[in-house]
Each structure stands twice: as structure tokens, then as C-alpha cells.
Amino acid sequence: MLNAARSRQQATDIEIIPMGGPCGAEIRGVDLSTEISDAVIAQIQQAWNDHLVIFFRGQTVTQEQQLAFAARFGDLGSRKQAPEHLRNKTEGLLQLDPKILLVSNIKMNGVPIGAFGDGDMWFHIDSGYTNRPYRYTFLYGVELPSSGGDTLFSNTYLAYEAVPERLKKFLADKRALHIHEYKRTAQVDVDGDISDAPHHYHPVFITHPYTGKKALFVDRLMTARIEGVSKSESDDILAELYEIGEREAFIYAHKWRLGDFVMWDNLATIHARTDFPRGERRLMRRCTVDGEPVRG
Ligand code: SIN
């Protein structure tokens, strides 16, 4: 339960510390386990629009408090139901609340408790393979390995700006296929039968619903084919776009500390995860806010 007896956080308490790079800011002076005023939420929303990825250190938040905080930014998203044959990759033993996804490599009696297991993950957009990709993601660090497991965020407004004019023109009205089989470092083979793998077509360049800015909406893990061009041309273009989206200059790397609460704009960033030592536990609690169909 939220503790109503504790004083409301005031807008004057909040401090925003930009990371000084392409995205990312730390917010200080907010305890996410308390009741937060509308004025503070408005400041957080503004910082979020400005910095795309924001984080709070040293938080102690229950699942209920995490969901209550996330719900201040929109309707909570539900975990996507994978098709039956892929379900063991997403449905861990402790995936008990439909609004929460446990991201973890921990196993109980040999069975994973959560999703995404060990190792690195390529850049992706959360639920980019659906017709309404999540608007926002909120990830809380519960157990961390001794090193690695960083989450990398790339600013896709900057990526859009960096796309050469010839490609901006050529791709202006094009869509790309986003498809997912819950692999972490491999694409789906789209030359085979894809009817069993969740997929959707989105514009290659989207207009962000809040800021009105253009963003590159392509990622290495799930964007597999540009619609209406040959396979080889599509492969070449996508290789160029992946490279632009993953440029170091556009990336903020979040090195996790216990109690970090990180939230990102899923329409203005792509994210990836670095490797971490096998056998070391990593447990993150994730929730989301629903999105709308994206516009070009
Ligand atoms: C995610 O992609 O939602 C999880 C990222 C992470 O495990 O750092």
C-alpha cells in the first residue's frame, strides 16, 4: 500500500542531472514509494521528454508501488502472450501478474522464473513487433551480477538526423517488418513461414506523438525487412540503419546499482543489454505503459 501518512513530494524537492550525452538524466529528490504530487509528475514527464531515459537511484519499491507510479504516465501495458510454441521463452515460473514481466536468469528447480535469461541482447524496441508498441518501460533493479548486464540506450531522434538524405527520401513512406521469436541475439528467418511468429509493419521513420519529432524506428533484433524492395536491397539498407542507430555517439550506457529505477521512452530510444557472468543472478522487475499505433 502507498503510505498516505508520508508527506507528498513537492516540485521544489526534485533535481534533474543530465548525463551530458545523447540521452539520460538522473532525478534526485523523489522517493517512488511515497505519494507523488501532480506537479512532480509533470516535472518528471518534462525531464523524460527532454532526456528520453531517466533514472532514480537507491529506491525501495514494491511491485504495487511500481505499478502505481507507472500508471501516472498512462494505461499500464500487459505482458504479451507469446504463441504456444514460444511461450517457454517468456513465461517463467513467477510471472504471476499480467502487468509485470520479471526479467531474470534465475531458475527454480531448473525452470526459469522470468524472461530473457542470460547474456547480452541486441538493440530492440519493447514489443516493436505488435501493432501498438509500448509507449514507456519501467525497469527496477532487484538483484544484479557483479559486473556487466548494463542496459544501453540509443537516442533515435539523433539516429534519424544522421540518416543520409538519399535514404531519408527513399524510405520516407516505406514500412519495415518487425518480427520476434524471443531470441536475444538472432533475427527471425523471414524467408520461411512467419505466420507463427508475432510480427507487424511500422513506418521506418516515425513521428513521436508527444514531441512531434522524427525518430528512426528500426532495430537489429526485430526489424527484418523493408517492405516493397528486394531482399538484397533491404539487407543493405537495414545494415546501414542498424549501424546508424547503434553509433556510440548516440548511446547512454546505464550501469546498474541495486535499487535503480530506470524508465525509458520506447518510441524515442532503442535499447540493448551487455553480457554478464554466467551463474550470477540478475533480477529486474519490468512494467510498461501502453502505446498507440505509431505514425510516420
Ligand atoms: C528489456 O529489454 O526490457 C530488458 C533489458 C535488460 O535486461 O537490461
Instruction: Report the amino acid identity of residue 185.
Output: T
Question: Residues 2-24: pLDDT tens digits?
Answer: 344 345 666 668 999 999 999 99
Determine whether the shortest distance from the Cβ of 103 to ligand 1 is under 6 A: yes
Task: Report the atom number in ligand 1 closest to the C-alpha of 273.
Answer: 8
Range 81-296 classified under CATH 3.60.130.10? yes
The CB-side HSE value for 9 (13 A sphere, CA atoms) comes to: 25
Question: Residues 225-273: pLDDT tens digits?
Answer: 999 999 999 999 999 999 999 999 999 999 999 999 999 999 999 999 9
**In contact, 228 and 237? CB cutoff 8 Å:** no
Alpha-carbon span 163 to 241, nearest angstrom = 7
CA–centroid distance, 173 to ligand 1, in Å, is 30
pLDDT of residue 11: 66
* Segments of 19-57 assigned E as strands: 25-28, 53-56
Determine whether the shortest distance from the Cβ of 225 to ligand 1 is under 6 A: no
pLDDT of residue 60: 98
pLDDT of residue 85: 73
Task: Report the atom number in ligand 1 closest to the C-alpha of 284.
Answer: 7
Question: Residues 145-160: pLDDT tens digits?
Answer: 999 999 999 999 999 9
Q: What is the mean pLDDT of residues 177-193?
A: 88
Question: Residues 22-66: pLDDT tens digits?
Answer: 999 999 999 999 999 999 999 999 999 999 999 999 999 999 999
Question: Residues 95-135: pLDDT tens digits?
Answer: 889 999 999 999 999 999 999 999 999 999 999 999 999 99
The CB-side HSE value for 51 (13 A sphere, CA atoms) comes to: 22
Determine whether the shortest distance from the Cβ of 270 to ligand 1 is under 6 A: no
- The helix or strand, by DSSP H or E, that contains position 59, with its residue range, turns out to be none
Task: Report the atom number in ligand 1 closest to the C-alpha of 124.
Answer: 2
CA–centroid distance, 228 to ligand 1, in Å, is 32
CA–centroid distance, 183 to ligand 1, in Å, is 13
Determine whether the shortest distance from the Cβ of 151 to ligand 1 is under 6 A: yes
Which of 121, 89, 129, 296 has its CA nearest to residue 222?
129
Which of 168, 275, 178 has its CA nearest to residue 220?
178
pLDDT of residue 52: 98
Domain-by-domain residue ranges, the chain?
A: 81-296
As a residue count, the chain comes to 296
CA–centroid distance, 53 to ligand 1, in Å, is 13
Q: What angle do CA 235, 236, 239 make, to 5 degrees?
A: 85
Residue with cell 505503459: 289
* Segments of the chain assigned E as strands: 15-18, 25-28, 53-56, 101-104, 107-108, 111-112, 115-116, 121-124, 136-143, 151-155, 175-179, 199-203, 205-207, 214-216, 223-226, 251-254, 261-265, 269-273, 283-289
Determine whether the shortest distance from the Cβ of 262 to ligand 1 is under 6 A: no
CA–centroid distance, 23 to ligand 1, in Å, is 17
Lowest mean pLDDT among 69-73, 135-139, 191-195, 285-289: 191-195
CA–centroid distance, 121 to ligand 1, in Å, is 8
